[in-house]
Amino acid sequence: MSTLERDPRDGTVQVLDEDGSVVGDIPDLSADELVAMYRHMKLARHFDQRAVSLQRQGRMGTYPPLSGQEGAQVGSAMALADDDWLVPSYREHAAQLVRGLPLDQTLLYWMGDARGGRVPDEANIFPVAVPIASQIPHATGMAWADKLRNGGDTDTAVLCYFGDGATSEGDFHEGLNFAGVFDTPNVFFCNNNQWAISVPRERQTASETLAQKAVAYGFEGVLVDGMDPLAVYQVTTEALAKAKDPGEDERRPTLIEAVQYRFGAHTTADDPSVYREDDEVERWKAKDPIPRLETFLRNQGILDDDRVDAIQESVEDEVADAIDAAESTERPDPESMFDHVYAEQPPGLREQAESFAAFRDEHGDEPFLE
């Protein structure tokens, strides 16, 4: 990826600095596409704020906030072609939104409704993976299968997201090692948000970067400013192109480390004030990807106050509609929780289902509505 502008201090790819000034080559995006990128990020931020509020009000279960990571998620997802696949962890609400997953589906999922996990047929998105790093071998296997099916050639790439904590799991090493050996059309995207719950990045590895781990697997690793959506888009675009058509001396896979920060808690069950200092959070908020992109678009004459206000109003309306849709969805029958755990219900689970049904017959539905 020698065409990318890198920070001479540490090799990080960057297009916009923290003030929104251009320091690298601007990717080939139209004005409409740039506005769409900005709107997706604004929509994701407002959705995130409302989702946290819903959880605090008892209207939704535990929820993993994404604020601060919009640039990495939207920038990378917009680089995907229609036939490419997105393999998320549990925090990629913005990336899935870009790829066509309705917001009310995301809300239903975190409300505990299994129907929230139903991905529309036209959206090439794997189900949410809550176990850490379990999705990485799945993504590698899918990419390998596509390569085998097409006799070694492919027009499809698989983009797999995970956090910095996932790089300490065996699934990470197994998935990337397999990808390197079998030269699969994968892009592995590490959202390095500095904290794996309460464990800091420096406790995950002694390596200077996470991107350099790719060298051990025989392919390229790229370090990118994850709070610069244009840089992320550029890096991911080139990695996807290489996955489908590598050069003569290149390997298909790429490991991208997007350096960023989660402004909020790991989940709404977490208290980050226990392990993070306020001044650290404020330092990273100065790098916020949304005002950074907005400044650039204003300087380019693409955005003005009226258009920014119109976008804000539209995203607020869209999120409000999604909440209404999710909350007006009829709740599933509580007994349905036993239906899809196994293809054939084993005796132990059948006993639990029967015990649950007996309790319900005796006490009614009132205990489940409290």
42 within some domain: yes
The residues, any chain, with a CB within 8 Å of residue 183's CB and separated by 6 or more, are: 147, 246, 251, 252, 253
Do 272 and 291 lie in one domain? The reply is yes
Question: Once rounded to an integer, what is the mean pLDDT over residues 28-52?
Answer: 98
Same domain, 139 and 260: yes
Residue 118: φ, ψ to 5°: -80, 110
Q: Are residues 224 and 365 in the same domain?
A: no
**Domain shared by 320 and 341, yes or no:** no
Residues 6+ apart with CB under 8 A from 54: 60, 63, 107, 323
C-alpha–C-alpha distance, residues 252 and 245, integer Å:
7
Least confidently predicted of 63-67, 160-164, 341-345: 341-345
Q: What is the CATH number of the domain that holds 70?
A: 3.40.50.970
In a domain, 20, yes or no: no
Asked, for residue 23, whether it belongs to a domain, the answer is no
**Per-residue pLDDT reduced to its tens digit, 232-251:** 999 999 999 999 999 888 89
**Do 343 and 283 belong to one domain?**
no
Domain count, the chain: 2
Instruction: Indicate whether 346 belongs to any domain.
Output: yes
Distance CA 199, CA 10 (A): 23
Same domain, 273 and 358: no
| Residue 333 confidence (pLDDT) | 87
Q: What pLDDT is stored for residue 94 in this prediction?
A: 98
Query: Is 92:307 a contact under the CB 8 Å cutoff?
Result: no
> What's the pLDDT score for residue 2?
45
Q: What is the pLDDT of residues 130-158, one digit of tens each?
A: 999 999 999 999 999 999 998 888 899 99
Please give the Cα distance from 313 to 272 (Å, whole number). 31
Q: Tell me what pLDDT residue 9 has.
A: 47
How confident is the model at residue 369, as a pLDDT? Answer: 59
For the annotated catalytic residues, the residue numbers are 262, 266, 275
In a domain, 211, yes or no: yes
Mean pLDDT of 211-227: 97
Based on the fold, state whether residues 342 and 314 are members of the same structural domain.
no
The answer to whether 70 and 291 are in contact (CB under 8 A) is: no
258 touches 68 (CB < 8 A): no
* CA-wise closest residue to 1 among 10, 9, 12, 42: 12
Are both 246 and 346 inside the same structural domain? no
Q: Do both 199 and 86 map to the same domain? A: yes
Q: Is residue 264 part of a domain?
A: yes
Q: How far apart are the first and last CA of the chain?
A: 56
Residues 204 and 249 occupy one common structural domain:
yes
By C-alpha distance, which of 262, 286, 259, 287 is closest to 275? 262
**Domain limits at 112?**
31-327
Q: What are phi and psi of 287, to 5 degrees?
A: -100, 10
Which alpha helices (H) appear in 3-102, and where do they start and end?
31-56, 70-77, 93-98
Task: Please indicate, yes or no, if residue 12 is contained in any of the structural domains.
Answer: no
* DSSP calls for 104-137: HHHHHHHTT-GGGG---TTS-BPPP--STTTHHH
Phi, psi of 223 (to 5 degrees): -100, 125
Identify whether residues 177 and 254 lie together within a single domain.
yes
Query: C-alpha 119: how far from its chain's center?
Result: 15
Crossing angle between the packed helical segments 31-56 and 305-327, to the nearest 10 degrees: 40
Contacts of residue 228, defined as CB under 8 A and 6 or more positions apart, other chains included, come to: 14, 15, 16, 71, 75, 289, 292
Q: Where are the alpha helices (DSSP H) in the chain?
A: 31-56, 70-77, 93-98, 103-110, 135-149, 170-182, 229-244, 278-285, 289-299, 305-327, 347-363, 366-369
Identify the CA nearest to 254 among candidates 221, 281, 301. 221
Confidence grade of residue 10 (pLDDT, cut at 50, 70, 90)? low
Asked whether residue 18 is domain-assigned, the answer is no
The per-residue pLDDT for range 255-290, each reduced to its tens digit, is 999 999 999 999 999 999 999 999 999 999 999 999
Residues 71-111 pLDDT 10s: 999 999 999 999 999 999 999 999 999 999 999 999 999 99
Question: What is the model's pTM?
Answer: 0.93
220 lies in the same domain as 273: yes
